[in-house]
Structure 1
Amino acid sequence: MAYMNGITCICDNGRTLEDHRPIVGDDVISGIYRKAVALQGKRVLHVNSTYQSGGVAEMILSLVPLMNDVGVKTQWNILTGEGDFFTITKNFHNALQGQPIAFSDMERGLYLQTNECFSGQMAIDHDLVVVHDPQPLPLIRFYQKTQPWVWRCHVDLSNPDPALWEFLKGFVLDYDRMVISHDQYRRCGMPMEQRIIRPAIDPLSEKNRDLSEAEIQDLLTQYNVPIDKPLITQISRFDKWKDPEGVVDVFIEVKKHVDCRLILCGSMAPDDPEGWEIYRRVEEKARPYIETGDVILITAEDHLLVNALQRVSCVILQKSLREGFGLTVTEGLWKGRPVIASRVGGIPLQIEDGETGFLLDPTDTDGFAWRIRQVLENPELGERLGRAGKEHVRKHFLITRLLTDYLEMLHAELNT
């Protein structure tokens, strides 16, 4: 459970580290307790721009209670801003992933002013501050810094717009450390350590826990999702970098050969003002198939529904053009489903082509369609990929590993 109390997000999901023991084993759990011994009573603050919708918020939501459970007092604060601020920072997000941008002095001013106003609402006396992504990046300028600050960037930094990066770099240089998801995202000329921490999922969250057949059926009935045909599903925000229009093109090709249904499910994040525009474009492209019930668009914020859809799908897609990491891929693999995805960003860290899923160039519509047909026409292939993918996630991409990484980083910062 998470709810807002002023700017603080209160996290109490009722789960403890011990609850993860049956999944990850004794060695992992005991290793975490040992790392936490020297950190008892230390205080950590996470700051980001939303408490819902998207992998960043979901990771923090699961990480904060576990850090508190092992004795590290951890708080999560949410930056508050108006619509224009989030339009600006959405443009920043796009530009960090390679889209050219022009931003005015007025936009720079609003970006800084919002952070300055927010800083006046929040006292910081923690042992470590972790600031996530570009929205709250300038906060560091408005405090007398008495502790290490870490900038955690979750997006693909391999080819940012040069002008925007030069602007944001001025703030990043005030930080003691950068954390990125992939070695390819390192930025040259940065004096601080650029530490790699790969994202992870919580296997006990509503989005990932085991569901009974009755629960699954109730959810599908509630959202009018029939399963009389094989389901192809992409779970992603309606964001151009997730290429939902390209997914529709792939589906149209597959549909010529296999009678199937496409589900596009993505909630609308409060810090993403472009979502409804993208949704309307997808709706227009897919209209003939929506009318026949062969394409279903869902915008509900319902983690149990996502869980159910992934479990009943014959194929999970992630046709991203850019992807910082791609936790929807991790989720699909955890459900034991075959995942077919773009060879971009952090996705190849999760999928070994032909072993734990299939990887393709994101522009290869025919290639995606062919791989989908291959899985739909050979169920045993999908089962083999699914088994291997789930075990890969269990070993490398669960929340206990993320907790371990954060404890190690806290050790490193406090011993510097």
Structure 2
Amino acid sequence: MRILLVDNSKGWGGAEEMLFSLATGLRNRGHYVVMFLDEGSETVTKFVRADFNVWAFQRKSFRLLQSIIKMIRIARNEKFDLVHVHRNHDLLVGKIVGYFSGKLPLVLTQHCRLCKSTFFVINLPDRIAAVSKYIADGMTERFLKLDSKINVVHNGIDPTEFEHLHEDFWCRWSELIGKGPLLGVVGYFYKNQEELIELLPFIKDEFPDVMLLIIGRDDSKRKFLEKKAEQLGVAESVLFTGSIPHAEMKHALAGLDLNLSAFRREGFGLSVLEGLAAGTPFLGYRSGGYPEIIEQGENGYLKDTFAELLQEILSLLKDKDRYSKMREQAKKSVSNKFTIDNMITNYENIYKSTN
């Protein structure tokens, strides 16, 4: 098939990592893939480096109309079979480009819960892939008529990439010499990292050398988190690692004792999958897409309250036998269920269903 993938994200997170895996997998299976991306974005740089056919467009003010006209011209020449957008706010552009390029089918991947969206816009795609049942349920709760269009397609990983890990990854960080246990959280800083900082005073009572590693970069909210740590007297127990290249992330996750999150609206959680594949148990709240990944007591724990989450973190860290077994089980829990191959096959089936 000749597939046009559209994404106007400027940054790079789990959704972009999934898009990269999908595009690579489709190309490896013989599909012709072209990317329409936002000019000046990190996605352009990374897809160009991977030798994809990339077109970059400006999306602001009157430039948007010029970009759409150019998109239509390119799409007509390329004779695509379908358009696949990866943000619901790309739907209108995707529909216009597809319609004037031969009334092409439109597919949407929805990575997060719907915020502001009208039924007119969200009903534009012919098929919708929700990355979790949590996302799918949120869409049908607002717009019941979408139910017949939605398929749940979980994100996937390549288990073979997690076979040779450097669990000593954090040993090269001078700030962490003699420290432990190492607790980590991955993601943009709007994901309630402050609540994990609030856990630290209680954890330090039992583990004085504990460290919370906040992995990622978000300059807009870092000062808020730093102030929170200072107010609670745990600033020396929080390390902002900055962004870690994805090629190294598996080693970083393997070097953690626990992968944590206090976010309650996670669409799915690719870093959770990657952490499990690296053998690192996950603990968080029973919400969002996490219950579709975590097998309670096998590869992690999901709790309902702050107190319950704190208690389970302490309990697991103290029980060395249970912890060791959970690290082994974590790897097994994702090796077959959440694979890139399964994900790509599911998308191919969705593409076929649009014809």
TM over 0.5: yes
Establish whether residue 193 from structure 1 lines up as the match of residue 162 from structure 2: no
- Partner residue in 1 for 2:90: 136
CA distance in 2, matches of 1:254, 1:67: 45
- Partner residue in 1 for 2:137: 184
Establish whether residue 351 from structure 1 lines up as the match of residue 310 from structure 2: no
Q: Structure 1 residues 251, 305: CA separation in 2 closer, same or farther (over 3 Å shift)?
A: farther
Over the residues paired in the alignment, what is the CA RMSD in angstroms?
2.5
Is the CA contact (8 Å cut-off) linking 2:10 and 2:38 kept in structure 1? no
- Partner residue in 1 for 2:183: 232
- Partner residue in 1 for 2:53: none
1:373-392 alignment to 2 at 5 Å?
Answer: 373-392=314-333
Summarize deviations over 1:290-342 as a string: whole Å, max 9, x none: 3x3x2101222422443222112111102212111111211111111121012
Which residue, 371, 375, 389 being the options, matches 2:312? 371
Establish whether residue 262 from structure 1 lines up as the match of residue 247 from structure 2: no
User: Structure 2, unaligned stretches of length 5 or more?
Assistant: 42-58
CA distance in 2, matches of 1:114, 1:382: 55
Which residue, 289, 301, 305 being the options, matches 2:234? 289
Q: Structure 1 residues 365, 211: CA separation in 2 closer, same or farther (over 3 Å shift)?
A: same
Structure 2-normalised TM-score?
Answer: 0.82
CA distance in 1, matches of 2:103, 2:129: 20
Partner-residue secondary structure (3-state), 2:165: coil
Is the CA contact (8 Å cut-off) linking 2:88 and 2:122 kept in structure 1? no
Instruction: Letter of the 1:131 partner, please give it.
Output: V
Summarize deviations over 1:226-257 as a string: whole Å, max 9, x none: 35321011111112xx2100110112221122
CA distance in 2, matches of 1:118, 1:209: 44
Is the CA contact (8 Å cut-off) linking 2:283 and 2:302 kept in structure 1? yes
CA distance in 2, matches of 1:340, 1:258: 17
Which residue, 171, 182, 193 being the options, matches 1:244? 193
User: Structure 1, unaligned stretches of length 5 or more?
Assistant: 1-41, 83-109, 268-274
CA distance in 2, matches of 1:204, 1:262: 28
- Partner residue in 1 for 2:337: 396
- Partner residue in 2 for 1:155: 112
Partner-residue secondary structure (3-state), 2:336: helix
CA distance in 2, matches of 1:256, 1:243: 22
Establish whether residue 210 from structure 1 lines up as the match of residue 161 from structure 2: no
- Give the % identical residues: 23
Which residue, 182, 202, 207 being the options, matches 1:253? 202
Q: Structure 1 residues 185, 199: CA separation in 2 closer, same or farther (over 3 Å shift)?
A: farther
Q: Structure 1 residues 343, 115: CA separation in 2 closer, same or farther (over 3 Å shift)?
A: farther
Partner-residue secondary structure (3-state), 1:45: strand
Instruction: Letter of the 1:261 partner, please give it.
Output: M
Q: Give the superposition deviation at 1:173.
A: 2.0
